[in-house]
Amino acid sequence: MESLWAPWRMEWIAKEMKDCIFCRIPKEERDEENLLLRRLSTCFVLLNRFPYNNGHLMIAPYRHVPSLEDLKEEEGMELFRASILCLKAIREAMKPDGFNLGINIGKAAGAGFEGHVHLHIVPRWVGDTNFMPVIGRTKVISEALKDTYAKLWKVLPKMSE
C-alpha cells in the first residue's frame, strides 16, 4: 500500500492521543473548528475529521462510557433519536443513495476510542467505491470538510427532534 505524506496530521494525532476527543471537544467553545454540528441534552453530533466518505458523522454521549449497555436509558434513546435527525439532515443536504451505521465496541472491533462509545453514520452513493481503493489503495474524499460542515450545519441544527 502506498503511503501519503501528511505531516499536518501529527499535531492532531499527538493532541488526540493525550485525551478522549469525545470528552474534550464538547467542553470547548470552538464548535465550528472542532466540526461539532449539534449539541443535545445527553449527546452531540460531530463531523468525522478523517471520514470514510463525505458527510461521515459521529454521535457520542457526553458521558465517557465504553459500551451501549453502560448508557442510561435517556442517553440511549437520545443517541437513537439523534441518528434519525442526522439521517434526515444528510438526506436533505447531500442526497446519498444509502447509509452505513456502526458502533465499534472494544479494540478488537476496531474502536479507535474504545473507552467512549459512539455511533458512526456514513452516507453512501452508488459508485462511491471504485477503482481507487481497490487498485490504487487510496480513498478519495471529494469535498472539503468545511464545505460538508457548512451544508450539514444549515439543516441539522434546525431540524426538530
Lowest-confidence segment of 14-28, 44-58, 137-151 by average pLDDT: 137-151
pLDDT at residue 135 is higher than 80:
no
Q: Look at domain 10-155 and name its CATH class.
A: alpha beta
The answer to whether residues 39 and 19 touch, using CB atoms and an 8 Å cutoff, is no
Give me the catalytic one of 56, 116, 118, 120: 118
- Cell 439521517 sits on residue: 87
140-151 residue pLDDT tens: 666 788 888 888
Sign of CA dihedral 17, 100, 161, 31: positive
Report whether pLDDT(98) > 90.
Answer: yes
Selected residue with higher pLDDT from 122 and 111:
122
CB-CB contact of 94 with 123 (8 Å): yes
Q: What are the backbone angles phi and psi of residue 61, rounded to the nearest 5°?
A: -75, 155
Indicate the pLDDT class of residue 71, thresholds 50, 70 and 90: very high
pLDDT of 94 over the 70 cut? yes
Residue 104 in contact with residue 127, Cβ under 8 Å?
no
pLDDT band of residue 25 (cuts 50, 70, 90) is very high
* Least confidently predicted of 16-20, 47-51, 132-136: 132-136
Dihedral of CA atoms 93, 129, 108, 103 in degrees, nearest 10, equals: 20
pLDDT at 18: 64
Residue 141 confidence (pLDDT) = 66
Long-range contacts of the stretch 136-144 (C-beta < 8 A, 24+):
136/2, 137/1, 137/2, 138/2, 138/4, 139/52, 141/51, 141/53, 141/54, 142/54, 143/54
pLDDT for the residue numbered 139: 59
Residue 118 is a catalytic residue? yes
Query: Does 112 have pLDDT greater than 80?
Result: no
